[in-house]
């Protein structure tokens, strides 16, 4: 369809004006017809929306006169346009049609096979940051061609960018995210935990917003998370978002280790144990937690179950370590190795026993975090990294060549990172922000919740 007009104009240019005059009329009318059909197809929804009240007006005019026609038609139009629900529906429909039209034009301008066989446009839904469109790829085309054309599509649409994700089960189904606004522009996204009275740690924790402005949740039971990124990237803030959620569940036992002392100190009143930069104490507390894990396994065997589940009376234990390097790469190598070995055991065996490990360090390269420990962390959260290699060290090798590198994050975008969790593909997100005042307020609420509602020791 798109290549018909160039060939027609070429042929008309090559023929003389008089020799083709007899043939030009049919092709001209054909072209008018084609344009008309195309116009009706492209603007069908808008035409129906205009045609319905027009038809009503004409009918009323014929049967009841022009005054009745004007008054009744006007009243009907206002009754639809004025109430917010129907107005919003109308706006949504018109927006959806506009997106379809713009995409049609964008696809027609693509190079190669995609302009001849443009994707079929399915449902269009608005997101906080733009739109999400379902596309069906036609035979002979693939997601790779569409991804290569991303910049052209974005510039045709006049938007910040577009991203494509193929449905793993159906390689012809693609979700196209149109990014109109950058949701990361908002500095200090408010964390839902600021207002939460309490939280159930078995529920997914809201941790930030993705590029579409949707809230990203992480489900942590049976998972461990490793944070990495350069200083000031936002590791401790993101860590505190998780700690806030766990603290607001009075059944959760918090074991907090902070090499810098100041980051997790505000949560110490809600913690089972709080350890500063003291490696000997850190080792003895890890041994305590390991004893708890072994005790748990004895309990699970007695109950004839393989893992703890919500409502079985066995609470979650959450071990949070900020500045992990201080413990696993300290000056006393023997103590550091002992710590790393205990932690490796907890990460390796703790899942079924309800032990969750969340650790942050600047660069988890193997000279700092032994690979036997690092590789056990299933979820990875990379804040800004200095290099693509450093980003791969956090997320796992190969992600930067697949377009997911935390080195691409601007230094000013604190809290923006890549989170690799359930979906299997890193999600770009900006974590919620918790100010010192927010942390103090949530910690105070969590403390009162714990002292009124539950005894963490009793629930162990
Ligand atoms: N999600 C965020 N939104 C806005 N600002 C943030 C965010 N995360 C971090 N920051 C800012 O960056 C600073 C450094 O963050 P921090 O978590 O201490 O970094 P790191 O632990 O990686 O060194 C914070 O004091 C805060 O001002
Ligand atoms: Mg920090």
Q: For the segment 251-270, what is each residue's pLDDT rounded down to a tens digit?
A: 999 999 999 989 999 999 99
C-alpha–C-alpha distance, residues 66 and 86, integer Å: 27
In angstroms, the Cα distances linking 117 to 31, 109, 110, 257, 298 are: 21, 12, 10, 57, 62
Residue 26's pLDDT is 65
Task: Specify the pLDDT at position 211.
Answer: 85
Shortest-distance atom of ligand 1 to CA 230: 22
Cα 238 to ligand 2 centre (Å): 9
Q: Which has more pLDDT, 207 or 189?
A: 207
Do the beta carbons of residue 391 and residue 382 sit within 8 Å?
yes
Q: What is the mean pLDDT of residues 437-443?
A: 96
Give the chain's radius of gyration (CA, Å).
30
Q: Whose CA is nearest to atom 7 of ligand 1?
A: 415
Distance 200 CA to ligand 2 centre (A): 26
Mean pLDDT of all residues in 129-151: 91
What is the structure's pLDDT at 457?
40
| C-alpha 245, offset from chain centre | 19
Angle made by CA atoms 236, 321, 328, in degrees to the nearest 5: 120
> Which of 190, 227, 234 to mutate for ligand 1's pocket (most ligand atoms within 8 Å of CB)?
234
Q: Which of 181-190, 238-247, 439-448 has the lowest mean pLDDT?
A: 181-190
Q: Which residue minimizes the CA distance to atom 11 of ligand 1?
A: 414
Question: Is there a contact between 217 and 206 (Cβ–Cβ < 8 Å)?
Answer: yes
Q: All domains of the chain, ordered by start, with CATH?
A: 110-181 (3.30.980.40), 185-453 (3.40.50.300)
Atom of ligand 1 nearest to the CA of 227: 22
Which of these, 319, 302, 177, lies nearest to 239 by C-alpha position? 319
How are beta strands 355-361 and 225-228 bridged, if at all? parallel
**Bridge partner residues of 190 (DSSP):** 433
pLDDT at 24: 54
Q: In this predicted structure, what is the pLDDT of residue 184?
A: 83
Which of the four pLDDT bands, split at 50, 70 and 90, describes residue 176? very high
Q: Please give all residues whose beta carbon lies within 6 A of any atom in ligand 1, as ranges.
A: 187-188, 229, 231-237, 383, 414-415, 430-431, 433
Helix 150-157 to helix 84-108 angle (10° resolution) is 130
Report pLDDT for 22: 46
Give 230 Cα–ligand 2 centroid separation in angstroms. 9
Specify the higher pLDDT residue, 126 or 319: 319
* pLDDT tens column, 14-65: 444 444 444 456 688 888 888 898 888 888 888 999 999 999 999 999 999 9
What is the percentage of the chain residues whose pLDDT exceeds 90?
Answer: 67
Reported as a single tens digit per residue, the pLDDT across 293-347 is 999 999 999 999 999 999 888 899 999 999 999 999 988 999 999 999 999 999 9
Q: What is the dihedral of CA 146, 150, 152, 155, to 10 degrees?
A: 140
Give the mean model confidence (pLDDT) for residues 88-96.
Answer: 92
Nearest to 277 by CA among 329, 236, 327: 327
Which residue has its alpha carbon closest to ligand 1 atom 16?
234
pTM of the model: 0.75
Residue whose CA is closest, atom 1 of ligand 1?
A: 415
Ligand number nearest to the C-alpha of 227: 1
- Nearest alpha carbon, ligand 1 atom 9: 234
The CA 43 to ligand 2 mean position distance, Å, reads 54
- Least distant ligand from the CA of 230: 1
Q: How far is the CA of 400 from the centre of ligand 1 (A)?
A: 23
Q: Are 204 and 245 in contact (CB under 8 A)?
A: no
Q: What mean pLDDT is predicted for residues 182-187?
A: 78
Segment 407-420 shows an average pLDDT of 93
Ligand 1: atom nearest CA of 208 is: 1
Between CA 96 and CA 45, with CA 75 as vertex, the angle to 5 degrees is 20
**Is pLDDT at 459 greater than 50 in this prediction?**
no
Task: Give the pLDDT of residue 241.
Answer: 97
Q: Quickly list H helices, 109-137.
A: 113-116
Burial class, 104, CB count within 10 angstroms (exposed 0-12 / middle 13-18 / buried 19+): middle
What integer best gives the mean pLDDT of the chain?
Answer: 89
């Amino acid at each position: 369809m798109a290549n018909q007009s160039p060939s027609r104009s070429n042929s008309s240019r090559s023929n003389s004006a008089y020799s083709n005059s007899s043939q030009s009329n049919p092709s001209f009318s054909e072209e008018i017809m084609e344009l008309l059909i195309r116009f009706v197809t492209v603007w069908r929804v808008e035409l129906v929306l205009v045609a319905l009240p027009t038809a009503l007006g004409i009918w009323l005019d014929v049967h009841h006169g022009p005054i009745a026609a004007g008054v009744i038609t006007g009243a009907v139009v206002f009754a639809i346009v004025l109430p917010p629900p129907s107005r919003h529906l109308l706006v949504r429909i018109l927006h959806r049609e506009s997106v379809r039209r713009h995409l049609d034009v964008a696809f027609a301008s693509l190079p190669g096979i995609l302009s001849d066989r443009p994707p079929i446009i399915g449902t269009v839904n608005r997101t906080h940051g733009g739109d999400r469109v379902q596309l069906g790829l036609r035979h002979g085309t693939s997601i790779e061609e569409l991804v290569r054309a991303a910049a052209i599509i974005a510039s045709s649409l006049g938007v910040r960018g577009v991203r494509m994700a193929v449905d793993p089960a159906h390689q012809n189904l693609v979700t196209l995210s149109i990014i109109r606004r950058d949701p990361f522009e908002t500095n200090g996204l408010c964390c839902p935990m600021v207002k939460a009275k309490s939280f159930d740690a078995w529920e997914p924790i809201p941790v930030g917003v993705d590029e579409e402005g949707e809230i990203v949740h992480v489900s942590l039971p049976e998972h461990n998370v490793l944070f990495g990124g350069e200083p000031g990237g936002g590791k401790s803030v993101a860590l505190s978002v998780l700690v806030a959620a766990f603290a607001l569940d009075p059944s959760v036992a918090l074991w907090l280790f902070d090499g810098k002392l100041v980051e997790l100190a505000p949560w110490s009143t809600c913690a089972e144990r709080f350890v500063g930069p003291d490696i000997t104490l850190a080792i003895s507390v890890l041994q305590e937690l390991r004893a708890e894990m072994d005790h748990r396994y004895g309990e699970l065997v007695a109950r004839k179950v393989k893992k703890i589940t919500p409502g079985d009376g066995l609470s979650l234990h959450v071990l949070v370590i900020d500045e992990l390097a201080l413990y696993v790469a300290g000056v006393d190598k023997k103590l550091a190795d002992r710590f790393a070995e205990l932690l490796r055991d907890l990460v390796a065996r703790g899942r079924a026993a309800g032990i969750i490990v969340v650790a942050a360090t600047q660069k988890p390269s193997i000279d700092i975090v032994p690979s036997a420990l690092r590789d056990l962390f299933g979820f990875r959260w990379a804040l800004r990294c200095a290099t693509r290699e450093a980003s791969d060290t956090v997320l796992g090798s190969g992600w930067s060549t697949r377009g997911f590198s935390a080195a691409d994050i601007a230094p000013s975008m604190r809290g923006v990172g890549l989170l690799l969790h359930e979906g299997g593909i890193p999600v770009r997100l900006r974590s919620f922000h918790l100010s010192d005042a927010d942390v103090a307020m949530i910690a105070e609420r969590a403390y009162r919740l714990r002292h009124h509602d539950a005894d963490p020791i009793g629930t162990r």
